[in-house]
Every structure is written in C-alpha cells, then in structure tokens.
C-alpha cells in the first residue's frame, strides 16, 4: 500500500518556495507552500516530478516497489488482511479441510472402506464418538473461532461468546422446539407409512433429557457455532435469508459426504440416492433453523436444541415407536417433515424467515486495525 495520498499539482503560476515551512505551516498548508508532502524519516513526495525523496538526496520513483514503510507487519498482517477480505470463503475452506482430513482414518478403517486394518472401539454402542466427533469439532467450530479471532479480535470473540450463551429467549421457545420435533416427525412417519406409533417406554422417557444434553455438547456444539452462528448472519447480510439458507444448507449437507463411506452412513449398503436425499433434507431443515435463529434473536442454544432434538428423537424414541420400520423410512419421514415446514415458513414469512423488517442483522465487530490500515 502506497504511503502517499493524492496531492493536487501546484499551479504553474504559483512560485514554489525553496524554504522549509515554519511555524504553523504544516499539513496541507505546507503542501500548498512547497508542493510536496512529507513522510516518515525525512521522506517526502514531490508531485511535480512524481518522485519520492529523502534528506540524503536519494530519489525513488512511485513505481519503485522496494520503498516500504518501516511499520510493515509482514506475513501475519497479510494473512489477516486476506481473511478480512473473504472471511466466509476461508471459513468454508477450513471447515471442510479440517473435518475431512480428520475423518480420513475413519473412512479408511474397517469401519469404512477397510483399507486400513484397524477398527475403532465402540463407546456406548457406537464408534462415532471416536471416529466422527473429532473431525466434527475440528471443522465448523474451530474454523469459526480462527477466522473470528484473526479478523475481529477480542471484540469479535466476545460477541461470539455472547450469542453462544444467549439462553434467555423465553420459555415458550424451548417448549416449542422440544415438542414440535417429536410431534412433526411422528406425524410425518405415520402419514408416509400408514403406521400408528407405539407409546414410548418409561425408560426412553427417562433417558430423553440426558440424551438431549449429550447431543447438545457433541453434535450441536461441534456444528452449529460454525454453520449457523458464523456463516448465516454474514450470508444473510450479503444475499438475503432465502439464498443464504440455500447455500449454507447445501454446504452443510455436502460436508457430511465422506461419512457415507463409513458405518455412520450405512456403508457398504449405500447408493447414490442416500447422500442426495440427505443433502435435500439438510437444505429443507435449514429453512426451519434459519427461522428459529432469526426469530430468537440469534440464540445459539435454541438452534442447537432444534438440531439435536432431531438426532435425539431418532436415536432414542423413533425405533421403539415404529419397531417395524427401517432407518431409511425414518430418513424419508424427516425429509417430508422438513420440506413441509420449510414451505409453510417461506409462505407465511414471504421469504423473510423471521429476519426483522425494520432493522437488519447487526454488522460484525470492527476488524482489527493495523498500522497499514491507519495509513
């Protein structure tokens, strides 16, 4: 970045003083008097010749790129500037790269393609805690923290933490989320299959809330601080709620693709329709999550609760309520419920999805200022 600003050329009929400015003849007054602008360490720009001079008589042209300020901050400033220019691009790239890299051993293991002769141990009857969760944590939430910290500094991290701990949104919201997910999925399954549900057992009801808490600190905490908390507000400001939801929904679904090569996705009994169905469901369900996110004033605990309520219901209650159905039928029921809810919300909100009409979402915290920015 060039240090000098544009200075209007000195009029030809104006005598240019050869003496240095004195007294109050500083700043713009000095420029008008001398036809030059002083810089650091005795340097100044001569607009009549287009050169940069110093007190020792050394001359540099404006095209000489070796002339730099002593305050140049090196590689860290360049990285931070690049992140500030394209924070969303860097977030998505990091989220995919970190997660997919961490999932590679799980995909290659005997729990996946079987290339690597190693089987992940099961904890609580599943290998996902060791095979899937580390990559999930390394992706969206770590990427969001890195980009926020490098571009917005402590102020951005404090704002991020404030949204992450925004629990006070009214008890009705929690009641709506906790009840609407089981009701919607039960009705969708019954409508799709014609089967009546079996009431859940006492053991399932007793384990429901603890299971929900476990899902919150695993799946919810790993994914939603990145996709919904970091990406969604920035995407909405740029593209509006509908387009932003479509983009985030697609990327959220595609992010899961390597897991379809593992037992998480039902490997080896997986065909091309299953990942495609998953992505469509992720897009449709994202409209519901965007609406809850906007209407609750960006409450991340509530959005995490909505996401994990689906996982928890299928993990604990759905199989017992519909014992004769397969997991594929459950996935289609979730797709039906998500698409129906998305269409209703799009119609009733006219595409606003809960985004305030009077005031748009607030701007992110002010980026860190460097010496180069100040100049």
Q: How far is CA 226 from CA 83, 110, 169, 229, 333, in A?
A: 16, 30, 21, 6, 27
Same domain, 246 and 181: yes
Q: Does a structural domain hold residue 361?
A: no
Q: pLDDT tens-digit profile of 338-362?
A: 999 999 999 999 999 999 875 444 4
Q: Does a structural domain hold residue 374?
A: no
Q: Is the dihedral of CA 351, 356, 360, 366 positive or negative?
A: negative
Same domain, 138 and 221: yes
Number of compact structural domains in the chain:
2
Q: Does a structural domain hold residue 250?
A: yes
Enclosing domain of residue 9:
1-70
Same domain, 344 and 215: yes
Residue entry with tokens 């089967």:
195
- Terminal alpha carbon distance of the chain: 9
* Cβ atoms 222, 133 nearer than 8 A: yes
Residue entry with tokens 């007054």:
29
Q: What pLDDT was estimated at residue 8?
A: 41
Q: What pLDDT was estimated at residue 193?
A: 96
For residue 95, the surrounding DSSP H or E stretch is: helix 87-108
Q: What pLDDT was estimated at residue 358?
A: 56
DSSP single-letter state for residue 123: B
Last residue of a domain, one of 70, 105, 130: 70
Q: Which pairing describes strands 51-53 and 44-46: parallel, antiparallel, or unpaired? A: antiparallel
Q: Does a structural domain hold residue 78?
A: no
Q: What is the dihedral of CA 331, 116, 223, 217, to 10 degrees?
A: 100
Same domain, 13 and 41: yes
Two structure tokens written together for 147: 């980009």
Burial class (CB in 10 A: 0-12, 13-18, 19+), 20: exposed
Residues 19, 27: Cα–Cα separation, whole Å = 15
Q: Per-10-residue mean pLDDT for the chain, 375 residues long? A: 42 44 43 46 50 50 40 57 86 97 98 95 92 96 93 87 87 94 98 96 95 95 94 93 98 98 94 95 98 93 96 95 95 98 97 78 46 36
Same domain, 179 and 40: no
Same domain, 271 and 232: yes
Residues 10, 300: Cα–Cα separation, whole Å = 59
Same domain, 210 and 337: yes
Same domain, 36 and 108: no
Q: Is the peptide bond before 341 cis (omega within 30 degrees of 0)?
A: no
What pTM does this model have?
A: 0.75
Q: Does a structural domain hold residue 274?
A: yes
Residues 295, 120: Cα–Cα separation, whole Å = 41
Q: What pLDDT was estimated at residue 356?
A: 87
Q: Does a structural domain hold residue 357?
A: no
Same domain, 253 and 331: yes
Which residues make beta-bridge pairs with 123? Answer: 126
Q: Does a structural domain hold residue 232?
A: yes
| H runs (alpha helix) in 109-240 | 128-131, 133-136, 142-164, 171-193, 202-215, 221-224, 232-239
């Amino acid at each position: 970045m060039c240090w000098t600003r544009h200075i209007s050329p000195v009029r030809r009929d104006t005598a240019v003083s050869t003496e240095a400015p004195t007294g109050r003849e500083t700043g713009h007054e000095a420029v008008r008097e001398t036809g030059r602008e002083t810089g650091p360490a005795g340097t100044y720009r001569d607009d009549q010749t287009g050169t940069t001079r110093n007190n020792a008589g050394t001359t540099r042209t404006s095209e000489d790129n070796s002339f730099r300020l002593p305050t140049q901050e090196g590689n860290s400033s360049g990285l931070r500037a690049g992140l500030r220019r394209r924070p969303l691009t860097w977030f998505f790239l990091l989220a995919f790269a970190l997660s997919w890299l961490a999932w590679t051993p799980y995909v290659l293991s005997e729990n996946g393609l079987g290339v690597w002769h190693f089987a992940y141990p099961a904890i609580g009857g599943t290998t996902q805690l060791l095979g899937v969760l580390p990559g999930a944590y390394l992706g969206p939430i770590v990427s969001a923290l890195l980009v926020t910290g490098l571009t917005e500094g402590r102020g951005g991290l404090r704002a991020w933490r404030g949204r992450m701990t925004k629990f006070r949104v009214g008890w009705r919201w929690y009641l709506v989320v906790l009840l609407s997910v089981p009701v919607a999925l039960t009705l969708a399954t019954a409508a799709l299959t014609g089967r009546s549900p079996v009431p859940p057992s006492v053991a399932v009801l007793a384990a429901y809330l603890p299971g929900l808490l476990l899902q919150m600190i695993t799946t919810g905490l790993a994914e939603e601080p990145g996709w919904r908390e970091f990406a969604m507000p920035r995407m909405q400001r740029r593209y509006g709620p509908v387009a932003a939801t479509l983009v985030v929904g697609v990327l959220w679904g595609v992010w899961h693709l390597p897991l379809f090569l593992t037992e998480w996705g039902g490997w080896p009994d997986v065909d091309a329709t299953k990942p495609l169905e998953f992505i469509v469901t992720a897009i449709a369900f994202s409209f519901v999550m965007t609406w809850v996110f906007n209407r609750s004033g960006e409450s991340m605990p509530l959005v995490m609760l909505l996401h994990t309520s689906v996982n928890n219901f299928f993990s604990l209650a759905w199989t017992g309520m519909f014992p004769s159905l397969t997991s594929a039928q459950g996935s289609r029921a979730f797709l039906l419920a998500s698409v129906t809810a998305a269409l209703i919300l799009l119609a009733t909100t006219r595409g606003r999805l809960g985004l305030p009409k009077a005031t748009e979402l607030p701007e992110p915290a002010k980026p860190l200022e460097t010496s180069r920015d100040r100049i």
